[in-house]
Structure 1
């Protein structure tokens, strides 16, 4: 997109691609994407926030886009990825001791880890879609998901290396990406063992009209990148979940201690998963995140709320960060 600069940065033993825009002296906003996504998910926020005086920085996380993709899932733990981001901030933040943080989906999860591990680096965190939940010391994540949602829950299905990649290839990656970005399926996401992504899709499916917020140009961009990289890098984040659980034992019971604003779409598959609304609105979320300032549910929006409602999301981000700067609160 016009005016967005792109460059490669050496961080934590890998080369990372970043997209950035805004005045060099402006407060840095680090924008973290999820699965299966790229820096591109923040295209509207990069332009909107930079016009308000922020320096917006959106990386392709390791395993995605033009960034390096280590082979083993053991190189996609929260420690690896947070290490990438700490090194990135050292490179782009200059004299700024703290930065603003925004994360969606896996970017939100990594954002929570960054807030836990290095809270002194974060002024405030806007989290989209995935709330923080304290580590359960008794049950590994994948085991817990199987117990609650069954073996066909999407995270459980993603665990076997190579299997999901082959299923996506059989279904056609273009159709997979289009359906994922524009679908409105409510949670929990369940993948049937047979034909989970729709093998041998209807040849006329390309003629299905895309929503106004997601153009053919947008879809073409995603397809071009994932045709080059494949999906293994992104799937490796899920395959490292139990390893994350082992590595974060010292943070059992830890509370997030940076100011937080949470946003979600009312049709988000995470928000509509059984028990999630009760956790978010019933006090469990605020108990785990005592610095939670605000919860916003955006109407008529699905999982990719930052793309579906870009102006509304950008305004909410700016409103929160402006209040933090004006109040100069210390938590």
Structure 2
């Protein structure tokens, strides 16, 4: 069996680690938080065997890719810029794009900014939320869920990192990956991520070896890079004003679990029904 190859590509001022396998039409996979290229390991092997060249990077701030120190170097413009540069470095004009969680958010904007580089998109978990020019995203989240909502709690640089450090990293990974509670995650400041429930037994798709792989990478790199995506939510809103009401023109398939916390955000189901090609997976959460 062909093995997954690992290389480093210089793009947009950073060194980006990518995993790739196969030959043929290219598929680019974008992971979420707290994840790595490794989240796509099964898809890389499966789809490469069907005649595709599969590429999964560690996104900016994750794994073996560089993590700039400045918080404001993690905007959607930076991340999409990294990916355009990656395709250019690999000599790829167009890709099939697949995104999950934060990777889905980045994928939506990749299609808005550079539709010429995307053949089609399959996105999971995070629906496209049209920009509301009247309300900043964090203001909207606070009004719906309060200051203890996890995204609001992640905003202050260094604070969430201190909170995460109080919990064993492997346990933290298990809690994020295995929770099946669709309610908004609430992390009271005095409790933080310790409010996460104890992880149940691992699902069939996640082994102790897998958890240890993630934990080792996050113990080495830290969580700041991934958390900085959350810290740019309002800045992304400001920077994307010129694309207000721009429609996504590439072919899209959207998949979401009915236990996914994002599925229950007010307004998401209305947007979801407007996607012609969509699939709801029963009894599934963020990790389908």
TM-score, structure 1 length as denominator? Answer: 0.83
Greater Cα radius of gyration, structure 1 or 2: 1
Which string of whole-angstrom CA distances, capped at 9 and with x for unpartnered residues, describes residues 222-281 of structure 1? Answer: 000000011000000010111111111111111111110000112111113344323312
Query: 1:13-52 residue pairs with structure 2 within 5 A?
Result: 13-23=13-23, 26-52=24-50
Conserved 8 A contact 1:99-1:121: yes
- C-alpha distance in structure 2 between counterparts of 1:113 and 1:211, whole Å: 32
Q: Separation in 1 of the partners of 2:180 and 2:149?
A: 17
Matches within 5 A, 1:120-269: 120-198=116-194, 209-269=201-261
Q: Quick check: 2:87–2:93 contact (8 Å CA) kept in 1?
A: no
Paired with 2:139 and 2:233, the residues of 1 have a C-alpha distance of: 11
Counterpart in the other structure of 1:57: 55
| Whole-angstrom CA distance in 2 between matches of 1:53 and 1:39 | 20
Task: State whether residues 20 and 57 of structure 1, in contact with CA within 8 Å, keep that contact through their aligned partners in structure 2.
Answer: yes
Q: Secondary structure at the match of 1:197?
A: helix
d(CA) in 2 for partners of 1:31, 1:79? 18
Tell me the CA shift for residue 2 of structure 1.
Answer: 6.9
SS at match of 1:198: helix
Say which is worse superposed, 264-273 or 239-248, in terms of deviation.
264-273
Residue 6 of structure 2 is matched in structure 1 by 6
Compared CA separation, residues 2 and 27, structure 1 to 2 (3 A): closer
Paired residues of 1:97 and 1:121 also in contact (CA < 8 A): yes
Structure 1 residue 195 displacement after superposition: 1.5
Alpha-carbon distance in 1 for matches of 2:144, 2:283: 28
Structure 1: stretches of 5+ with no match in the other structure: 287-291, 306-331
Gaps of 5+ in 2: none
In 2, the alpha carbon distance for the partners of 1:156 and 1:2 equals 43
Choose the corresponding residue for 2:80, options 82, 93, 99: 82
Instruction: Report deviation, 1:293.
Output: 3.8
